[in-house]
A and B are shown apart, each in its own frame.
Chain A
Amino acid sequence: MTRFLASIGRAVLSALASVGSVALFALETVSHLFRPPFYGREFWHALIQIGWLSLPVVGLTAFFTGGALALQIFAGGSRYGAEAVVPSIVAIGMVRELGPVLGGLMVAARVASSIAAEIGTMKVTEQIDALVTLSTNPMKYLTLPRVLAATIAVPVLVAVGDSVGIMGGYLVGVNRLDFNSATYLKNTVDFLETWDITSGLFKGAAFGFIVATMGCYHGMQSGRGAQGVGAATKSAVVSASVLIFAANYILTELFFAA
């Protein structure tokens, strides 16, 4: 019994230590935002890698999600004779929840993994040590540009995803569910409020920060060899995904709780 309780205690302490370690890592990253030098070239490179190159995967995910959402809402709404709510529910669902969450998850899959693998490999091959000997702080050179780029790029990706998702719903609504084109667009615009959109963009920024921070953190903590880098990559994606869901709930409570 004592051994069982001790093992629970160790697990709890280990989990708390991990939370503390991630929090300190995130705080240190943010602190470098206010302390030069800044590496603009690395920031732009990260912005292209994280933002521009994630557009196809986020766009396609949003497009099909918007289409499927329109079909589901139509099927569900028809039970109560409420088919007309399809445009507004698709729009609100996309911009408030599905756009940010699915965008964040797709970026987590694509970006957190690649950041963790890249930094993990750099650590294993002593490139991080080499940076230090070349008077370059790895947190400034590797972490801050990626975290900043993701925090800026993901809201933009979410905005694009929202638009593409709504368009997916529109195409399905008009071509498959026989909605009038003008009516669909009018219902979409009329029921959508500015806060619906901006709250989703705030979520996107939070998710971008989470994704890049977890990628960098696990990369920096990577163990030795291919197995160490593999484990870091897996941990980055899993932790980023779980934190996105947790942050989404907390932000939704903050933004929309009655």
Chain B
Amino acid sequence: MIELRDIHKTFGSNHVLRGVNLSIPKGSSMVIIGGSGTGKSVTLKCILGLVTPDQGQILVGGQNVEDVSRDAFLARFGMLFQGAALFDSIPVWQNVAFRLMRGALKRPKAEAREIAIEKLRRVGLKPEVADKFPAELSGGMQKRVGLARAIAADPEIIFFDEPTTGLDPIMSGVINDLIREIVTEMGATALTITHDMTSVRAIADNVAMLHDGVVKWTGAVNDMDTSGDPYVDQFIHGRAEGPIAAVR
């Protein structure tokens, strides 16, 4: 479904991605793990076109992303941002229905609101939340609204950027369960970046370990503990000693 071939990206003198190769099968849930500053977010932004790679190819559904219409390409995606990235100036339901109120997927306002409320219900939020503004919600509720927005247009592919960062363990568990349930019931292809190992075990079918701008190991989540890869071992056990420098 999604294939990254030899992706390179440099910001100034910082060579962030040094040849990322990764394949994400259709309908599977891939989680990219790795320390801060290893290029996880840049990889994700390269796929979405928010950052242009210096070199390499990105294929989605067998098509090079550079050859397809940008709007049509993005219409296949949903994304949950790290801080939810809700628009402060509009109420929750309009955030959720944002894509349904403009552009190619535009619906009548009443229908868009109805879908938004249904998606909010799907992520465990009551209809009363719909007319509140994002600033009136807790961090966990904002994440759920972000999740509702990500699935509002029933996308084929959903990206989750650090979905549990800043949440308490219980809320993290709720978000992890929601992601797993939603991805399964929608049959969507999911790509998550995180360093929360609880999330990894809850969400992932497959795991990729990114370090120093390259994928050091990739495999099924069940094989992660027995991978034998020193980078993966150090990361999943949170050891200070190992090939990954503690101070980067």
Contact = CB atoms under 8 A, between A and B. Distances in A.
Given A37-B103, A39-B102, A134-B98, A125 B74 contact: no
A39 B89 CA distance: 15
Contact of B99 (A125, A127, A134): A134
A133 interface: yes
22 contacts: A39-B102, A45-B89, A125-B83, A126-B81, A126-B82, A127-B87, A129-B48, A129-B81, A130-B85, A132-B49, A133-B48, A133-B77, A133-B78, A134-B74, A134-B99, A134-B149, A135-B71, A135-B74, A135-B75, A135-B104, A136-B102, A136-B103
Contacts of B207: none
B9 to A, nearest CB: 16
A7 B99 CA distance: 48
Given A126-B81, A126-B85, A132 B103 contact: no
B198 to A, nearest CB: 24
Interface of A: 37, 39, 45, 122, 125-127, 129-130, 132-136
Interface residues of B, number: 25
Interface string B59-91: 000000000001100110111011101111100
A136 B100 CA distance: 12
Contacts of B75: 135
Interface of B: 45, 48-50, 70-71, 74-75, 77-79, 81-83, 85-89, 98-99, 102-104, 149
B190 to A, nearest CB: 15
A129 B102 contact: no
A24 to B, nearest CB: 17
Contacts of A45: 89
Contacts of A125: 83, 85
Contacts of B70: 135
Contacts of B81: 126, 129-130
Nearest to B77: A133
- 4 interchain residue pairs of minimum CB distance: A130-B85, A126-B85, A135-B74, A133-B79
Contact of B48 (A37, A39, A132, A136): A132
A121 to B, nearest CB: 8
A39 B101 CA distance: 11
A256 to B, nearest CB: 42
Contacts of A37: 102-103
A45 B94 CA distance: 15
A141 to B, nearest CB: 9
A82 to B, nearest CB: 53
**Most chain B CB inside 10 Å of its own CB: which residue of A39, A132, A135:** A135
Contacts of A136: 98, 102-103
Contacts of B104: 135
Contact of A130 (B87, B89, B103): B87
A45 B88 CA distance: 14
Contacts of A126: 81-83, 85
A135 B83 CA distance: 19
**Most chain B CB inside 10 Å of its own CB: which residue of A127, A129, A134, A136:** A134
A37 B102 CA distance: 9
A122 B82 CA distance: 14
Given A135-B74, A135-B75, A129 B45 contact: yes
Given A125-B83, A126-B85, A127-B85, A135 B99 contact: yes
Nearest to B98: A134
Contacts of B86: 127, 130
Contact of A135 (B50, B82, B87, B103): B103
Contacts of A129: 45, 48, 50, 81, 85
A136 B74 CA distance: 10
A68 to B, nearest CB: 38
A130 B102 contact: no
A37 B71 CA distance: 12
Contacts of A130: 79, 81, 85-87
A146 B78 CA distance: 28
A129 to B, nearest CB: 5
Nearest to B51: A129
A125 B161 CA distance: 13
A127 B146 CA distance: 11
A45 B103 CA distance: 19
Nearest to A132: B50
